[in-house]
Chains A and B, each alone.
Chain A
Amino acid sequence: MEFLKDGSIRLDKVVNKLDKFVLDFVKVLKKHTNYVIVSGYVSILFGRSRATEDVDLIAPRMEKKAFLRLYKDLMKKFECLNSSKPDELYKEYLGNKIAIRFSKKGKPIPNIEFKFAKTSIDNEALKEKFLARIGRSELIISSLELQIAFKEIVLGSDKDLEDAEHLKTLFEKRLNMKKLEHYRKVLSR
């Protein structure tokens, strides 16, 4: 793991099936919109010893036409588990702040839980981000301090607390503790 001057992190990891799935999805997604990866997969990308069935991803709200273009492009390799009607997905799901799930065709696990930013914390996640470089590929990851605080304060299950502990131990000397405390306070309100 190498910390580069531009704030990104280079990983020289052996890519697992989950990493490959996420990289494949993002390869299509990034042609259409900005995004950020949040929650459990952040810890897994950086070595946590567990798998997951879903990868949480936030994108800024998109115009319907742009979403339809993204949907059409994604459908070449992926399927949506909620509905095969893109108009319905846009209006009834994303329009009502409900996340939608995309998986490889015929394989519901793993899947990407895709949602538009809806809270100030979602927007903060989109703003405070960094690049993880894996070979020639890149993933946009939310601030580690925000992910740790969110897992500790908002989610709080055993699994989430372990994810947070993994990131805190791994990045012990790299974390901005003031920023982490700030997020803890904001999320406790």
Chain B
Amino acid sequence: MNKWFDKEQNQKERMEFVRQWAKYVREHPDKEWSEQQKALIDSQM
């Protein structure tokens, strides 16, 4: 483990959020999650 940054822990946390978001997508209407996705993607394009 790097003294300044725990990469492994960060990967675990990221993966946990990925699962959480995928469940949100599964359980909410398309319009609801896709509005949020659009805001993220369009801001990067």
By a beta-carbon cutoff of 8 Å, the part of chain A in contact with chain B is 1, 11-18, 44, 46-51, 109-110, 158, 161-162, 165-170, 172
B26 and A17: CB pair below 8 A?
A: no
Residues of B in contact (CB 8 Å), total 24
Contacts of B40 in A (CB 8 A): 49-51
Alpha-carbon distance between A170 and B21 when the two chains are bound, in angstroms: 9
Q: A169-B18, A169-B23, A170-B22 are in contact. Are A51 and B34 (CB under 8 A)?
A: no
0/1 per residue, B22-39, Cβ < 8 Å to A?
110110011101111110
A109 to B3, CA, bound (A): 37
Contact A13 B41 (CB under 8 A): no
Chain A residue with the shortest CB-CB distance to B35 = A14
Contact status B21-A166, CB under 8 Å: yes
Chain A's nearest CB lies how many Å from the CB of B23? 6
| Pair B45/A13 contact, Cβ less than 8 Å | no
Which 4 A-B residue pairings sit nearest by Cβ, starting from the closest? A169-B22, A13-B34, A47-B25, A16-B38
When distances are taken between beta carbons in the complex, the residues of chain A under 8 Å from B23 are 169
Report the Cα distance A47→B37, complex, angstroms.
7
Report whether B42 and A170 are in contact in the complex, using a CB–CB cutoff of 8 Å.
no
A47 CB contacts on chain B under 8 angstroms: 21-22, 25, 33-34, 37
Assuming the contacts A16-B37, A47-B22, asked whether A158 and B11 have C-beta atoms less than 8 A apart, the reply is: yes
A51→B35 contact, CB < 8 A: no
